[in-house]
Amino acid sequence: MKIALAQINPIVGDIEGNANKIIPIIKHTKADIVAFPELCITGYSPQDLLLKGSFIQKNMAALRKIIQATKNKAAIVGFVENAHGELYNSAAAIRNRQVIEIHHKICLPNYAIFDEKRWFSQGSQPTIFEFEGKKIGLNICEDIWFPETAKKQKERGADLIINISASPYWKGKIEAIGNILMQRWEENKVPIILVNQVGGQDGIVYYGHSMYFNGGKVIKKCRDFEEDILIVDVK
């Protein structure tokens, strides 16, 4: 199975522009699944834009446009979902113009530059979807920093975990995420794909470093601090 890590620079608030960047990558990348960063439709972090109903609606309209672009394709896309009056930081697994699964972010960071509990409700389900005979665990950013979500996905039979992130840079961050993925590997012995964004927003810098981690080591990774598309072959 070939999975493309689409390490892009989404712009906060530019929903149309972000969708117009995502769609050609889906159409022209030769991979079984193309995975994009956390909240790639809205950009991260949209903060109080999430208080505007029109913003949420535009984000959903963009998701529908992206779904229509997946004829004979598959993608994982980060978006904001309004479900029963609650907002969720969500990831959609899409295949051939159908949403086959949605993950609601479980571990909502609420420290330093993060304030996700202000805007989002907490997810509760360790999401799994099936693709080409494999069970894939889907989670979002902070979900991979703690053991519970990955452990539950492993218990449900996950052969692979895909994590989509919007993780900012700080000194030592690259070493830290490497240590975290090593911990998850040692606990579960399941390969991990992490897709992080690049770019900057309000003084925050995103470092990329998207990677395929397996066997206790980084197998392949994207360039740091640059947009990049990396295709990995997952056995």
Residues noted as catalytic? 38, 105, 141
Q: Which residues contact 53 (CB under 8 A, 6 or more apart)?
A: none
- Helix and strand numbers (H, E) in the chain are 5, 14
> What is the Cβ-side half-sphere exposure of residue 136, based on CA atoms within 13 angstroms?
29
Looking up tokens 């309209």 gives: 61
Interior angle at CA 54, CA 140 and CA 74, nearest 5: 40
Please tell me the distance from the alpha carbon of residue 52 to that of residue 188, in angstroms, as a whole number: 40
Q: What is the DSSP letter of 10?
A: P
58-94 b/e (C-beta count within 10 Å ≥ 16 → b): bbbebbebbbebbeebbbbbbbbbeeeeebbbbbbbb
Please tell me the distance from the alpha carbon of residue 85 to that of residue 96, in angstroms, as a whole number: 28
Residue 205: both structure tokens together:
């810098």
